[in-house]
Structure 1
Amino acid sequence: MAQPARAIAKRTIRRHELREIVPLADTTIYDMEQRGEFPQRFYLTSRCVVWDLGEVEAWLDDRRRASRAKAVKRAPVPDVQLRKTRPVRHQTRA
């Protein structure tokens, strides 16, 4: 019996396409992959690294939903009083 043809074609993307879709630095993407927070890359050849476009798009959708639900932990606001360079000077009124 012949198996039915898949309706959805798998598509892979290379690094330059990934960076157009996901505006993160390569090191950030690598770190997130290592922690299991981003789709894993895989090798087509010894020099060709790709990502599954469907997995990347699903990750983006998950991030969008999490952001709208306020479930993404945001970075704290920096305390400018603790800066070592360009410290904030308090203005005194005369």
Structure 2
Amino acid sequence: MTTATSTQRTRRGTQWPASNCCCARKKEPDMQRTIRRDELRKMVPLADSTIYEMERRGEFPKRFNLTARCVVWDLAEVEAWIQARKQASLQPAPGPDVRQRRTRPVQTVAAT
């Protein structure tokens, strides 16, 4: 029966270092994968204007131009943002302050 250790592998009586094994070879650096707007929309269900506003405030990964007419986002950054949002405990948004309305102002009831 063939047995293997972390430093050697044995096959039919031949020994070679584990570094020669295909699973131990150094991986080539991954290419930075980018996504276009239509794929981003499938991943992040927010309106374009919301995404752009969040980008401006620094709350969402920045897009960059590949060409003059092609805008993309880094997939790893978007996935990291999604993971961070999943792990963050989001506080519910506060209700609107009705006292600041310009139309239909809140009427105060006089105390009797």
Greater share of strand: 2
Greater share of helix: 1
Deviations 1:41-79 (A, max 9, x none): 00000000000000000000000000xxx2x23213569
Aligned partner of 1:64 in structure 2 is 86
Partners in 2 of 1:74 and 1:61 — Cα distance? 19
Superposition TM-score, scaled by structure 2 size: 0.59
- Aligned pair partner of 2:60 in 29, 38, 44: 38
Largest Rg, 1 or 2: 2
In structure 2, stretches of 5+ residues that fail to align are 1-26, 105-112
Could you list the runs of 4 or more consecutive aligned residues of structure 1 that deviate by over 3 angstroms after TM superposition?
none
Partners in 2 of 1:17 and 1:60 — Cα distance? 14
Structure with the larger RCO, 1 or 2 (CA within 8 Å, 6+ apart): 1
- Let me know the Cα RMSD of the aligned residues: 2.1
In the alignment, is residue 76 of structure 1 matched against residue 72 of structure 2?
Answer: no
In structure 1, stretches of 5+ residues that fail to align are 85-94
State the SS of the aligned residue for 1:59.
helix
Aligned partner of 1:88 in structure 2 is none
Partners in 2 of 1:15 and 1:49 — Cα distance? 7
In the alignment, is residue 23 of structure 1 matched against residue 41 of structure 2?
Answer: no
